[in-house]
Amino acid sequence: MTLTMKTFNGTAIDIPNGKLTSLQSSLRGKLINKADAGYDDARSLWNGMIDRRPGLIISAQDTNDIRLAVNFARENGLLLAVKSGGHQIAGHAVADGALLLNLSEMRGVHVDADKATAKVEPGCLLSDVDQETQRYGLAVPLGINSTTGVAGLTLGGGFGWITGKHGLTIDNLLSAEVICADGEVRVASATQHADLFWAIRGGGGNFGVVSSFEFALHPIGPEVLSGLIVHPLADARGLLQSYRDICARAPDELTIWAVMRQAPPLPFIPEDWHGKEVLIFAACYAGDMKDGEKALEELRDLGNPLADVIGPHPYAGWQQAFDPLLTPGARNYWKSNDFLKLTDGVIDSTLAAVVDLPDPQSEIFIAHLGGAMARVDPAATPFPQRKRHFVMNVHTRWSEPAKDQTCIAWARALFDRTAPDAAGSVYVNFMPSDDDGRMQEAYGPNIEKLRRIKAEYDPKNLFRLNHNINVEASEKLAT
């Protein structure tokens, strides 16, 4: 009896049952094939557009299971996919016919409160980390949706509510244990395999499988001054002009994002506004409450809001505030641009798109990044855009497959209209699968160094199911 699987060069190969039996006997975890219970759960992703059927799944329990999976894929020439939290918009974590290394059961978090560090396994979600670190009044900068996987977020950069004060997620990574393409387990840090450590801080899953992350933690909470201010969309042009000025003066502790969408049926929003287009300011102050109240005065004095629910909230709860709008299973497509300035033209194009939303679940958000993040040398990590800037994510979300074409076209149209004002960079974690041609934008002048490190640690491109670093492009330029 054999199992037919896909190789990394696109052909099919038969794996004898004896090899599978030997592999299972060495694993702490388990092998799952298409006929087994748990197969569909193990292959499912956050983005409901992705419905792929791997040939075989290894559900890993520890570092040795990861090493065995990498060796098995390499020795048999198998196409290898790696799933941690499964939240990536592009859906590279699962491929038809591939060997899927599923890390989602590895969700341990160990906090050393004395050293203010945390060791985090690769299957952890943001909520796992926040729950454990907040027991000690500590946190690491992560994203804004608690069901996001820590591994993918970190490998791509990572930013959220406390980035202005404490930097990107990668700026707080102290070390990582990486299983490389040769099957060797390497500890990467500033003093060990420093080139590998540089590459994994933004270069994605191109260089190996991370089996644990060590993060620096910072005092946060247990409560932060945070919440939402909701305005009618009709007032949004002037409000966004004021918002960009407030962001330019904001202290590191203050983060404000702008969200444009149809008002969800939240109890603090007047019922007659439910389903109507609104502008929402989401704000968080990572510092003293009284200082935060003063810092937020100007934003709260703008216009005539429909609702203002800024107040003390548990930090871990604020990290989950947007979860109800980002539940798994819906169909999602994103397009993203960075802007050094939020021009009137970008504002006008955005507002014109909001009045023509293709689905009530769709939204556009604009995040402002600065502070500690902007004081890091652009060459210190692969993440190149270290200037104070705005990130627009055109977040198209819907449920019915029949709306795919309409929703995707809407996102692309807004992206194209705002592209002339864009900074020429893009956050790799916001890139859909058809954005692979933007790798130069994602890494800027750091791309060549990434290619050299990729060639050293993964010369045969075993780790190719990602936003892939193209080594061949560098070789062609050299010749």
Is 210 found in the same domain as 236? no
Q: Flag whether 232 is in a domain.
A: yes
> CATH number of the domain that 26 lies in?
3.30.43.10
Is 413 found in the same domain as 299? yes
Over residues 82-107, the mean pLDDT reads 97
Residue 338 has pLDDT above 60, yes or no: yes
> Which tens digits make up the pLDDT trace of 416-445?
999 999 999 999 999 999 998 999 999 999
Is 428 found in the same domain as 371? yes
The residue ranges of DSSP E strands in 199-263, in sequence order, are: 209-216, 218-219, 223-232, 254-262
Q: Quote the domain boundaries for residue 51.
A: 2-102
Amino acid letter, residue 43 = R
Q: Give the chain's domain count.
A: 3
Is 94 found in the same domain as 165? no
Identify whether the C-beta of residue 353 lies closer than 8 Å to the C-beta of residue 410. yes
Is 255 found in the same domain as 309? yes
- For the whole model, what pTM was predicted? 0.96
Q: Flag whether 121 is in a domain.
A: yes
Is 293 found in the same domain as 273? yes
Residue 152: burial class (beta carbons within 10 Å; 0-12, 13-18, 19+): buried
Distance, CA of 56 to chain centre: 26
Q: Flag whether 256 is in a domain.
A: yes
Is 118 found in the same domain as 11? no
Give the pLDDT confidence score for residue 472 in this predicted structure. Answer: 73
> CATH number of the domain that 323 lies in?
3.40.462.20
Determine the 3-state secondary structure of 177 from DSSP.
Answer: strand
Over residues 395-421, the mean pLDDT reads 98
Q: Flag whether 364 is in a domain.
A: yes
Is 186 found in the same domain as 200? yes
Q: Flag whether 40 is in a domain.
A: yes
Is 378 found in the same domain as 298? yes
Residue 475 has pLDDT above 70, yes or no: no
Q: Flag whether 447 is in a domain.
A: no
Is 13 found in the same domain as 61? yes
Over residues 85-110, the mean pLDDT reads 97
Share of the chain above pLDDT 90, in %: 97
Domain end marker among 86, 102, 118:
102
Q: Flag whether 82 is in a domain.
A: yes
Q: Flag whether 30 is in a domain.
A: yes
Ramachandran area for residue 256 (φ above 0: left; ψ -120 to 50: alpha; else beta): beta
> CATH number of the domain that 135 lies in?
3.30.465.10
Strands 185-189 and 254-262: unpaired
8-state DSSP, 264: P
Give the pLDDT confidence score for residue 2 in this predicted structure. Answer: 82
Is 143 found in the same domain as 22? no
Domain end marker among 183, 201, 219:
219
Is 296 found in the same domain as 254? yes
Domain end marker among 79, 102, 125:
102
